[in-house]
Chain A
Amino acid sequence: MAEVNIQRLEKHYGAFHAVRGIDLEIPDGEFTVLVGPSGCGKSTLLRTIAGLEEASGGSISINGKVVNDDRPRDRDVAMVFQDYALYPHMTVANNIGFGLKARKMPKAEIEKRVGEAAQMLGIVPLLERFPRQLSGGQRQRVAIGRAIVRNPSIFLFDEPLSNLDAQLRDEMRGEIKRLHQDIATTMIYVTHDQIEAMTLADRIVLMRDGLIEQQGAPLDLFERPATTFVAGFLGSPKMSFLPGRLGARDGQVGVAVGEHFMPLPQGRAPDTVKGEKSVLLGLRPEHISRAQGEAPTPGSVRYDALIDLVQPTGSRSYATFRLGREPVVAELQAHDVSRAGQKLALDINMNRASIFDAETGRAI
């Protein structure tokens, strides 16, 4: 059980500024996911929390105690590495028990705890094997077992699933989530995969160029992205961005994309609009659906689209069309769209649309 408090943390590697003054508070028991493109500093941040990297500035506290100068072993953290980092010259049982041995635990107690962890992860039959005799998924389980058995106050995961194939990744993702439900220990998890971030996190911390771009509950970030970067990073297929002009026409506030004026429903529109302003209109694929009925539902805009690309996924199909000059992706029911070249009336739900300042990229 532990809370982590990070203040103005900096990390330099020579001339490279990997972490640029981050403030972050992680409450006890929370599952926090650090996510962002490669090179954004998320792994560096995690490794600095673990004590594997030295902070160049700022402080890290665990349970109110500054740990900057503590060795990794004194921080009571456990870490799961991307390449598993199992000890190849030890059996699975010795791999899992190695950390307990370091803490001079009696042999019988080590055996008991290793047995319990193995039971929990379903790897009891593997205990006498060596890492090279295991599959990728089994290795990952052993790596997690090595962390669990220590009963640490914080779990750190550094892209633990990125070396697994897609199916196994889904399975292990579920198990990690369940693990957190069961033991409710503080977990900090690094990934570049936005689906992992969305599914696992109590809170997502989205990083970019060594800074936190936005943090919050997954759905908050998804539905109310603060910047175009956040909006584009979360969601698949990603949000379509349409350059347009925000302004009033016939007393209604809306966004003009090319010659199409798309009125914004009340509540979604900014309170005051002075003249016109260059904006980016952000539309998520799932907020566009096939038109039903005579008139669009309130808050929606009807658009006659010429579909130019269809990508079926089975349950849903992604249809690409052009609005103005820009391509837009719509997520439709599989049977609502059949082929490219088809004409289709679509309703765009403007209640859910995001609007960003074209210059700063920040949400309006």
Chain B
Amino acid sequence: MAARGSSFLSQRRLASIGRYLLLGFFLLFVLAPIYWMFNTSIKPSSDYLAIPPVWFPDEPTLVHYEAALFTYRGLQGIINSLIVSLSATALSALLGTLMAYSLARFNTGGQHLSFWVLSQRFLPPVGIVLPVFLIYRNLGIHDTHFGLIMAYTVFTLPVSVWMMFAYFRQMPKSMEEAALVDGWTRWQAFWRVAVPLAAPAIVAAAVFAFIACWTEFFFALVLTGRTAFTLPTVFRSFIGFQGAQYGEAAALAIVSLGPSIVLGVLAQKHLVRGLTLGAVRG
């Protein structure tokens, strides 16, 4: 018995060592590029491609940050990106919640409308970018925050609606019905009962929408110019005739990670539940 017990124990220990090794490797896989990016952002230019590689610069510098944020107008890009992404996310969450609720509870548009909404994602963006550009120019909303907010709201809505639709549909109706019998109107039952309960899905949809807006490049490139340009388009200027500005690119990339990390931490609790959607009841 003793022998079997100890071999069982050592087997378990072996398994846990294996698990940690695997996790460690995965962590390295994920974090190493980020570390290298950070490392590059504080290196003097001469160290970028040095052989052997410089693992940590002897004299860390912030010149790349200064250049990326001010010379290359990265800070303006971040501000524009925040304005556009946050507005589009808020609009998409608000409209998406209303649409999804309507589809789920009142079967609006019959069987097909909900799928039609999702099918809007199948459209390749390149197919519509030129007409949108022309329309925007004629309407005078080219290179404005408003124009880009509208475009991003429209692009993020299908997925937002679909995520929340699935959630609302699996949510028992009886709580809203209890609110109706309790003396609230349909609208109040929606705001006071359905929306708080759907918070995980709304948060998950909003995080997706924000990340999609924050990283969008193609439409930002076509629909903006000197004024409303967003962060991703700034990276374009780091590749020029004289070669690539690795330090500036890395510095701006590090800064642009910020909002995603903050959002991820804030939304983590809701995100896990929201992403599993209707997988588990109750």
Number of B residues near A (Cβ < 8 Å) is 16
Given A99-B182, A102-B184: A81 in contact with B196 (beta carbons within 8 A): no
Number of A residues near B (Cβ < 8 Å) is 24
Residues of A within 8 A of B184 (CB): 73, 102
In the bound assembly, the distance between CA atoms of A73 and B179 in angstroms comes to 9
17 contacts between A and B (CB under 8 A): A50-B181, A51-B180, A51-B181, A72-B181, A73-B180, A73-B182, A73-B185, A79-B181, A85-B174, A85-B175, A86-B178, A87-B193, A88-B197, A89-B196, A102-B182, A102-B188, A150-B182
Q: Is the CB of B197 within 8 A of A83?
A: no
Residues of B within 8 A of A99 (CB): 181-183
Which of A85, A88, A103, A146 is in CB contact (< 8 Å) with B177? A85
Is A206 part of the contact surface with B, judged by Cβ < 8 Å?
no
Distance in Å: Cβ of A309 to nearest Cβ of chain B? 40
Residues of A within 8 A of B183 (CB): 73, 99, 102-103, 150
Q: Is the CB of B181 within 8 A of A77?
A: yes
Contacting residues of chain A (55-108) with chain B, CB-CB under 8 angstroms? 71-73, 77-79, 81-83, 85-89, 98-99, 102-103
In the bound assembly, the distance between CA atoms of A150 and B188 in angstroms comes to 18
In the bound assembly, the distance between CA atoms of A85 and B178 in angstroms comes to 7
Is A52 part of the contact surface with B, judged by Cβ < 8 Å?
yes
Chain B interface helix/strand/loop/mixed: helix
In the bound assembly, the distance between CA atoms of A81 and B181 in angstroms comes to 11
Contacting residues of chain B (91-108) with chain A, CB-CB under 8 angstroms? none
Is B264 part of the contact surface with A, judged by Cβ < 8 Å?
no
Which of A52, A88, A89 is in CB contact (< 8 Å) with B181? A52
Is B172 part of the contact surface with A, judged by Cβ < 8 Å?
yes
Q: Is the CB of B172 within 8 A of A52?
A: no
Top 8 nearest A-B pairs by Cβ distance? A102-B183, A99-B182, A85-B174, A85-B178, A73-B183, A72-B180, A81-B174, A79-B181
Given A88-B197, A89-B196: A81 in contact with B177 (beta carbons within 8 A): yes
In the bound assembly, the distance between CA atoms of A299 and B33 in angstroms comes to 96
Distance in Å: Cβ of B269 to nearest Cβ of chain A? 14
Which of B175, B178, B180, B196 is in CB contact (< 8 Å) with A71? B180
Q: Nearest CB to that of B176 among chain A residues?
A: A85
Residues of A within 8 A of B193 (CB): 87
Q: Is the CB of A87 within 8 A of B181?
A: no
Knowing that A78-B182, A81-B178, A150-B183 touch, tell me 12 more A-B residue pairs with CB under 8 angstroms.
A50-B177, A51-B181, A52-B177, A72-B181, A73-B182, A83-B172, A85-B174, A85-B175, A87-B179, A98-B179, A99-B182, A156-B181
In the bound assembly, the distance between CA atoms of A79 and B178 in angstroms comes to 7
Q: Is the CB of B172 within 8 A of A85?
A: yes
Distance in Å: Cβ of B205 to nearest Cβ of chain A? 19
In the bound assembly, the distance between CA atoms of A86 and B172 in angstroms comes to 11
In the bound assembly, the distance between CA atoms of A50 and B177 in angstroms comes to 10
In the bound assembly, the distance between CA atoms of A90 and B245 in angstroms comes to 54
Residues of B within 8 A of A51 (CB): 180-181
In the bound assembly, the distance between CA atoms of A102 and B187 in angstroms comes to 12
Q: Is the CB of A146 within 8 A of B182?
A: yes
Contacting residues of chain B (152-185) with chain A, CB-CB under 8 angstroms? 172, 174-175, 177-185
Distance in Å: Cβ of A139 to nearest Cβ of chain B? 12
Q: Nearest CB to that of A52 among chain B residues?
A: B177
Distance in Å: Cβ of B273 to nearest Cβ of chain A? 12
In the bound assembly, the distance between CA atoms of A87 and B184 in angstroms comes to 13
Residues of B within 8 A of A73 (CB): 180-185
Residues of B within 8 A of A86 (CB): 175, 178
Q: Is the CB of A78 within 8 A of B181?
A: yes
Given A71-B185, A73-B185, A89-B197: A83 in contact with B174 (beta carbons within 8 A): yes
Residues of A within 8 A of B181 (CB): 50-52, 72-73, 77-79, 99, 156
